[in-house]
Structure 1
Amino acid sequence: MTSRNTDRNPNVQVVNEDSENNVLAEKIRGSLETELSQNKPEDDAFHTINVMQNILDSEDLLKYMEQTDCCTCERCQADVRALSLTKLPSKYVVIRKNDTSPTISFYREKYRMDIISTIMRAAEEVKAHPHHGQERN
């Protein structure tokens, strides 16, 4: 390693950039950066979810639509889903990605009856006023 003291400040050393220590330090830094980037799992990141939408997406809308004798075409399914989401309160939470499933399970049990009754009312409303076959702008 080549180094020299500067004339201005005796505490400052100038190190030759090609020195063995600098090359070794760069290798260590590069290795640490690689290791840190590999050890940061995406599942540890935070995200925001609408719990009600997440639960509704996992519900079997067709089952409830069939129970009310509602049409089960693609348009009516979309209408029941949209109407249900409109009538349900939004419930946004910020959680780690790997905690999504337990959080959804907790809220599913808490709001289960509200969600099912909202889906059933939406299916009844869509049954009474279906939009299939109609063009909407």
Structure 2
Amino acid sequence: MLTNVMENVARRALQSFIENGYDGCSCELCQNDILAITLNHLKPQYSASDTGEVYIKAKMLDDQAMVDVMQEIIRATTIVKQHRRHA
């Protein structure tokens, strides 16, 4: 099964961000918008096996890689706060 491991990494990072004081809307629609914007600005990391997924996740332990993910999440949350698709 082909998987974009970056999606899983970004999803977990967003959950952590929300649990640790994000002050915007965290409904499913807004979370999906944030993830879509985030992933559109990060390089995809595809894996076709569990071994490949573990390797990619290990690379994501690098501080700079996680800083990049968090920067994009913060940027995306700002956009979604300003342009929510619901009332």
Measured against the shorter chain, the TM-score band is 0.7 to 0.9
Point out 4+ residue stretches in structure 1 off by more than 6 angstroms.
none
Query: Which residue pairs with 2:60 in the alignment?
Result: 107
Cα deviation digits, residues 97-125 of structure 1 (max 9, x gap):
24533431322425101100000000000
Task: Specify the SS of the correspondent of 1:117.
Answer: helix
Give the structure 1 partner of residue 2 of structure 2. Answer: 48
> Any stretches of 5+ residues in structure 1 without a counterpart?
1-46
Could you say which structure has the higher helix fraction?
Answer: 2
Aligned residues: 84
Give the whole-Å Cα distance in 1 for the aligned partners of 2:18 and 2:34. Answer: 10
Instruction: Tell me the residue number matched to 2:26.
Output: 72
User: In the alignment, what sits opposite 1:43?
Assistant: none
Name the % identity: 27
The residue type paired with residue 58 of structure 2 is S
Q: Give, in whole Å, the separation in 2 of the partners of 1:80 and 1:64.
A: 16
- 1:129 matched to 2:87? The reply is no
Aligned-residue CA RMSD (Å)? 2.4
Structure of greater Rg: 1
The answer on 1:62 being equivalent to 2:33 is no
Q: 1:100 to 1:75 in 2, by over 3 A?
A: same
Distance 2:51 2:43 in 1: 24
Question: Which is richer in strand?
Answer: 1
